[in-house]
Chains A and B, each alone.
Chain A
Amino acid sequence: MDNKLYVSSSPHFRGSATTRRIMLDVIIALLPASVAACVIFGARSLILIGTCVATCILLEYISRKVMKRDTTIGDLSAVVTGLLLALNLPADINPLIAMFGCVVAIVVVKQMFGGIGMNFVNPALAARIVLLVSFPSAMMRWVSVPGTPETAMIDATTAATPLSPAALESGCYSYIDLLIGRCGGSIGEVCAAALLLGGVYLVIRRVISPIIPCVYLATAALMSFAVGLDPLYQLLSGGLMLGAIFMATDYTTSPLTKWGKVIFAIGCGVLTILLRRYSNMPEGVSFSIILMNILVPHIENLTTPRTLGKVKKAKEAKK
């Protein structure tokens, strides 16, 4: 035999999953919410999404080049970040502000910490929080959606999110309004039904485990009940669905271990409702997820799985 053989360490077969395919699945899962955004808020949503995605890809390409590392835009993770960031913004935000958000997400949070898999907080959420703090009025000026209940009642040009005190007091949104997105908010968060559809797709495709979304939502419902809020209304409004399904399940910034995921999701749920109920801001999803992101290494340390055959000692000697 003359030809050379590949000699490598086993296993010699690999599964079919690839990073690119996983990211593509996330993009597919976000399509219903993106389409809903375009239907509800019109073409400006499409422009916003396009701007964010294109900027993120470009920034990822440039940062890798500047840092003299191999190009990674092929894994589609920059597309996911751009898409998620866009879905977290109000419809009529200045494109320059959105692009600044992309810089924060891709350059600062993702690439400066080593690229995919290395960031310690979710890039899109970190960018959203930076924008929220830097441009509070622009980030909280919700566009009114023609035909929604609150346009008639509160204001003609700007709307309130379902979580604003005015909306909560007047009780103008029905569950159906929240489910189909007949309300104010970030372009991707308003239509709970579209987000749920995407979530089901991700679980079926085994891209995400249902643990985080289910525990997050269940905890949030229980907490709402405990602090005297309407649980179902809380689940369907604001960024909770988007956060629980797409943000808290981000691989890099959520625990790897099963019980770690449970603790992480409980923490997110408790914090979200506490912030919604007692802080000055109407919304608390982003802050709670980011806070729990930071705790991930500690949560993982606490939840190391028991390996087969390892006998738990009653009290492990402390060094």
Chain B
Amino acid sequence: MPQLTFPKRPYRTRGGVHAPHNKNTAHKQSLTMPVPEIVALPMSQHIGAPCVPLVKVGDTVDVGQVIAKSDAFVSAPIHASVSGKVKKIDKITMPAGNKVDAIFIESDGEQRLSPDIKPPVVESLSDLITAVRESGLVGLGGAGFPTAVKLNIPSDKNVDTMIINTAECEPYITSDHREVLENSWDIISGIMTVKEFLDIHRVIIGIEDNKPDAIEALREIADSSADVGDEIRVLPLKASYPQGAEKILIKACTGREVPMGGLPSDAGCLVMNVGSIAFISRYLKTGIPLVSRRLTVDGSAIKEPQNVIVPIGAPIRNVIEFVGGYKEEPKKLIMGGPMMGIALPSDDLYVLKQNNAILAFSEREARLAEPSACIRCGRCLSACPMSLQPVELSNASDRKDIDALKKFNAMNCMECGCCSFTCPAKRHLVQNIRMGKALLNKAKREEISQSKGGKN
């Protein structure tokens, strides 16, 4: 295998916008939230097949007990995050608006650990993948893709580089930043484990240069004796949104491009969120599955912005009350960051596994801008990190023009929102492109069903 080198500086990426950082919580120690009275655990907190409940109403459950799982390949089991009694299994509305079953657990406040919890024995890659699957881990950066599936790299793919995503390019969010400062040794030991089993000899920690203290902390351990072969390096990246998007990060760290419609493994890369890798290391030591996580609570309507470690499934209202509640009337609640997060219909929802932030904004930030006519200034083209033509895609979507959507590579849009952010006419570019992508998907499904019908 040719010797892999580490880049001295990031490779050039295109586009991006300078969104205000607003990392107000970067220097505050994370607080642990007390156990809420009730938690709700939806059956679908990940990309892939929803889980099926294993418990009934009235059952007593312990922390870390598997309460739902699925046999599908792309899925992740769900564990009880509090000890107590299953109160009900009922449909709840998810942030995206769909309804899924959720297990409600009434906490008894004891936080009794399940007797089944023990550190997994990991001697091979398949052991590691099984263990990660059983831990219930999904990508903690926001997308929620089951990590075990990610680690299960098809044998025809030659993955030689692992990238640890510490970019955290979304405004406000600092949960990964705090993870680095508070749990830096977990990160390094997680990296060592994964790289050993996957036989990867180049690990690049990609981190935006607006976190000098975190860069310092990571460099210190990367340079320490733990990294025997000098195979882990920290690469500071320009602080520009969307530096942490998978395809952009791969380009910046390795100069490689993920082919259109392909996966990181097609570019020889495995990208792991920094929180996920630290969790793997903790899980291997303690056997405690994913039952809590760190998230950033911030925004102009929040009294005391803070990083909080919360049980998965905690009511969002309680999380906000824990940091002191609202400073003024909230007009917009976002799960995730302001660029790609989902606006919530109310605070009567629950923390999900992949939920890295809850932001609350007052009227001034929440007010929607009225779109006006496109002046063809071309800012969306310069801002697009994928070098697409957002204005053409948006227009094609308005016309429901499938051919044009294909021609302008609509499916390569990752919906980062740079086009809408930068548009002086405040047009809903990415929003339109999303509809266009849905149109394309629908057209594809129809094509498939038609071709199937034709064979009969």
By a beta-carbon cutoff of 8 Å, the part of chain A in contact with chain B is 1, 3, 5-15, 17-19, 21-22, 72, 75, 77, 114-118, 209, 251-252, 256-257, 304-311
A8 and B389 form a contact (CB under 8 A) = no
Q: B200 interface residue, CB < 8 Å from A?
A: no
Interface hits, B343-379 → A, CB 8 Å: 343-348, 361, 365-369, 372-379
Complex contact A6–B343 (CB within 8 A): yes
Listed stretches B31-39, B68-76, B419-427; interface member: B419-427
The CA of A22 and the CA of B377, in the complex, are separated in Å by: 10
Partner pick for A308 among B14, B343, B345, CB 8 A cutoff: B14
Interchain CB contact under 8 A, A256 and B389: yes
Is the C-beta of B49 less than 8 angstroms from some C-beta in chain A?
A: no
Contacts of B251 in A (CB 8 A): 308
A307 touches B376 (CB 8 A): no
Q: Within the complex, which residue of A17, A117, A307 is in contact with B260, where a contact is CB–CB below 8 Å?
A: A307
Task: Establish whether residues A309 and B247, one from each chain, have CB atoms under 8 Å apart when the complex forms.
Answer: yes
Contact B378 A15 (CB under 8 A): no
Chain A nearest Cβ from B97, distance in angstroms = 9
Q: Are B346 and A1 in contact (CB under 8 A)?
A: yes
Q: Is the CB of A13 within 8 A of B339?
A: yes
Question: Once the chains are docked, how many angstroms separate the CA of A307 from the CA of B373?
Answer: 26
Q: Which of A9, A12, A13, A304 contacts B408 (CB 8 A)?
A: A304
B339 engages A22 (CB within 8 Å): no
Partner of A305, one of B317, B372, B387: B387
Q: Which residues of A contact B345 (CB under 8 A)?
A: 5, 7
Q: What are the nearest 5 A-B pairs in CB distance?
A: A11-B417, A17-B424, A256-B378, A9-B431, A13-B338
Which residues of the partner chain B approach A309 to less than 8 Å between Cβ atoms? 247, 257-260, 262, 386, 412
A5 with B339, Cβ < 8 A, contacts A115-B373, A118-B373 known? no
Contact between B260 and A116, CB atoms less than 8 A apart: no
Query: Is A9 touching B434 in the complex (CB atoms < 8 A)?
Result: yes
Report B-chain residues with C-beta under 8 Å of the C-beta of A118: 373
DSSP class of A's interface residues: helix, strand, loop or mixed? Answer: loop
Once the chains bind, are A10 and B424 in contact (CB under 8 Å)?
Answer: no
Shortest Cβ gap from B368 to chain A (Å): 6
Give A308 to B409 CA distance when docked, in angstroms: 10
> CB distance A257 to B385 under 8 Å?
no
Contact of A307 among B339, B344, B412, B430 (CB under 8 A): B412
Q: Quick check: is B139 within 8 A (CB to CB) of the other chain?
A: no
If A10-B340, A11-B430, A14-B426 touch, does A256 touch B14 (CB 8 Å cutoff)? Answer: no
Min CB gap A246→B, angstroms: 15
In the bound assembly, the distance between CA atoms of A172 and B369 in angstroms comes to 56
Number of B residues with CB within 8 Å of any CB on chain A: 69
Do A306 and B387 form a contact, CB below 8 Å, given A13-B19, A116-B375, A117-B374?
yes
Whether a CB of chain A sits under 8 angstroms from the CB of B341 is yes
Interface residue B171 (Cβ < 8 Å from any Cβ of A): yes
Residue pair B333, A5 in contact (C-beta under 8 Å): yes
Instruction: Name 8 extra pairs, CB < 8 A, besides A10-B430, A251-B377.
Output: A1-B346, A1-B348, A5-B332, A6-B343, A8-B332, A11-B339, A305-B388, A309-B412
Check A256/B381 contact, CB under 8 A, given A13-B339, A304-B389, A308-B257. yes
Residues in B neighbouring A251, C-beta threshold 8 A: 375-378
Are B376 and A256 neighbours in the complex by a CB distance under 8 Å?
A: yes
Tell me if B144 counts as interface (CB < 8 A to partner A). no
Enumerate chain B residues within 8 angstroms of A9, measured Cβ to Cβ. Answer: 343, 428, 430-431, 434
Docked pose: A264 CA to B334 CA in angstroms: 44
Identify the interface centre among B339, B343, B430: most chain A CB within 10 Å of its CB.
B343
Which residues B108-163 have CB closer than 8 A to chain A?
Answer: none
Over the window 8-31 of chain B, the binary record of Cβ atoms lying under 8 Å from chain A Cβ atoms (1 yes, 0 no) is 000000100101100000000000
Contact between chains at B343 and A8 (CB < 8 Å): yes
Contacts of B376 in A (CB 8 A): 117, 251-252, 256
| A310 contacts B373, C-beta separation under 8 Å | no
**Given A304-B408, A310-B412, also A5-B330 (CB < 8 A):** yes
Q: Does B398 contact A (CB under 8 A)?
A: no
**Minimum Cβ distance to chain A for residue B418 (Å):** 8
Is A13 within 8 A of B386, CB to CB? no
Cross-chain contact of A310 among B330, B338, B389, B409 (Cβ < 8 A): B409
Give Cα A118 to B391, complex, Å: 13
User: Is residue B100 contacting chain A, with contact meaning CB distance below 8 A?
Assistant: no
A7 and B343 contacting across the interface, CB-CB below 8 Å: yes
5 contacts between A and B (CB under 8 A): A12-B339, A13-B171, A251-B377, A307-B387, A308-B385
| List of B residues within 8 angstroms of A19 by Cβ | 372, 375, 424-425
Task: Please name the residue on chain B nearest to A256 by beta carbon.
Answer: B378
Of chain B, the residue at the smallest CB distance from A12 is B338
B331 contacts A6, C-beta separation under 8 Å: yes
Judging by beta carbons under 8 Å apart, are B434 and A311 in contact?
Answer: no
Complex Cα–Cα for A179 and B388 (A): 41
Docked CA distance A13–B22 (Å): 12
Q: Does B196 contact A (CB under 8 A)?
A: no
Which B residues are CB-close (under 8 A) to A1?
A: 317, 330, 346-348
Please tell me if B342 contacts chain A, counting CB pairs below 8 Å. Answer: yes
The answer for the CA separation of A155 and B148 in the assembled complex, in Å, is 88
Contact A6 B332 (CB under 8 A): yes
Residues of A within 8 A of B421 (CB): 11, 13-15
